[in-house]
Amino acid sequence: MRTTQLGRASQRASAPACGRRRVVSCSARVVAEPPSSKTGPIILDGQVLHSITPERLALVSTLGSFVENEVQPLLKPVEKCWQPADFLPPSEDPYFLDQVLELRKRTEGLPDEYIVTFVGDMITEEALPTYMAMLNTLDGVRDETGAAATPWAKWTREWTAEENRHGDVMNKYMYLTGRCNMKSIELTIQNLIGSGMDPKTENNPYLGFVYTSFQERATKISHGNTARHALEHGDELLAKICGSIASDEGRHEIAYQRIVEKLYEKDPDGAVLAFADMMRKQIVMPAHLMDDGEHSIKNPGRNLFADFSTVAERSGVYTAFDYADIMEFLIKKWKVADRSHESGDAAEAQEYLVKLPDRIRKLSERAAARKSKAKTAKTQFSWIFNRTLDV
C-alpha cells in the first residue's frame, strides 16, 4: 500500500464544538468515555471516533452476503497462489550457492535509486500487521474474536494472508542480493510497525473502504512500475516478482472498490460524503511514519519517508500525477458525476470531487516546476550502506 503526500487543500474540522464533547482529559491525550446514546462524540487525538451513524451501520450489517458472493471470490484459493519459494533459489538444492551468485550478478545492474524505491515499498508491505489492525478498527466489519466466521472477518484474514506473501518475497530477494543493509531495513520495519498509522478513518467503514480502494490501486501502480524498471535494468525475475505482486493488488483493488460501489448503490449521499471527506483529509501513505533511527541524524533536518518519496517520484515509480489519476479513475468508476443526491452537503461533496483531479494536477505541475529549479541535496540512506542520492 502506498501514496505520496500532497500539500493540504481545504480541510474541514473533524471535531464538533467543545460543548458537544464528553471526554476525559489525561495529560496531553484525550481519552474517550465508552460510547452510549447519552454521550456526545468521542474525540481522541483530535479526531472523531465511531463517526458512522446507526442507520449507516445497520446498512453495513446487511452486506454480509454481498461480501461472501461478490468480494471473497476475488481471492485465490491458497493452492492456486504463488508463493515466495516459487521465485527464490531453493535452499535445499546442492547448487543453491551457484544460483545465489547468478542472482547477485543479475542485480548488479540495479541502480541505487531503484534499490531505495524497492526497499521503501518492501518496508511498506512488511508493516502488514498495522493494516490488518486498521481494518479491525472499523465498526460493523471487524473480526470480533480473531477467528470469526462472518464474511467480513474471513475477508480481512484471507486478504491479509495473500498480502503477507508480498513482503516475504521482497525481503528475501533483497537479502540475497547483498545490495542492502538488512539490519537497517529490519530496524525500519520494526519502528514502522511500532509507530502504526492513522489514516483518519474514524472507525467508519465508509471511510475505511474509500481509503483501501485508493491505496490498493496506488500499490498496484507502484509495483507495476518497479516491475517495468527491473526489466529495463536486466532483472527479468525481479520483474516477474513485482508484476505478480501488482496482479494481487489489482484483485484487491477491485474488491474494495466493489464495496464502495455497493455503498453508493444503497446510500449515495453517505458514500459521496465519505469519498469527499477522505479526499479533503488526503490519502496518507501507510508508511509515512517510517524511521530507521539515524536518517535525520546523518541528514539533519531531513525525513526518511519524505526522501524515499522524492526518490520514488523522480524514478517515476509513483508521482503526484498518479494520485490525481487514481482520483479521476475512482470518480468515473463510482459514477460520481452522474448521481443524484438528496442533501445539499452531498451535492456539494459531489461538485468538489469532480473538480479535484484537475486542481491536483495544476498544483502538481507548479510543485514540479519549483522542484526543477531547486537545489538537490546529497542524502545518505542507511538501507544502501549510507551511499548518497540526490533528493
Round to whole Å and give the CA distance between 197 and 150. 26
Tell me how far apart the alpha carbons of residues 227 and 242 are, in angstroms, rounded to a whole number: 5
d(CA 148, CA 129): 18
User: How far, in Å, CA of 49 to CA of 15, rounded?
Assistant: 10
Do residues 381 and 389 touch, judged by C-beta distance below 8 A?
yes
Annotated binding-site ranges for Fe cation: 125, 163, 166, 216, 249, 252
Query: Residue 25 forms beta bridges with which residues?
Result: 30
Crossing angle of the two packed helices 128-135 and 205-232, in degrees rounded to 10 = 160
Give catalytic residues, as residue numbers: 82, 125, 163, 166, 216, 219, 248-249, 252
CB 121 within 8 A of CB 223: yes
**Per residue in 92-113, is it b (16+ CB within 10 Å) or e — as a string?**
eeeeeeeebeebeebbeebebb
Whose grid coordinates read 460524503?
A: 273
By the 8 A CB rule, do 222 and 316 touch? Answer: no
For 123, the enclosing helix (H) or strand (E) is: helix 112-126
Q: How far apart are CA 276 and CA 254, in angstroms?
A: 20
Q: Look-up: residue for cell 537497517? A: 184
Q: In degrees to the nearest 10, what's the CA dihedral of 305, 307, 312, 313?
A: 110
Q: Which of 391, 389, 372, 370 is nearest to 380 (CA)?
A: 389
Point out which residues pair with 379 in neighbouring strands. Answer: 389
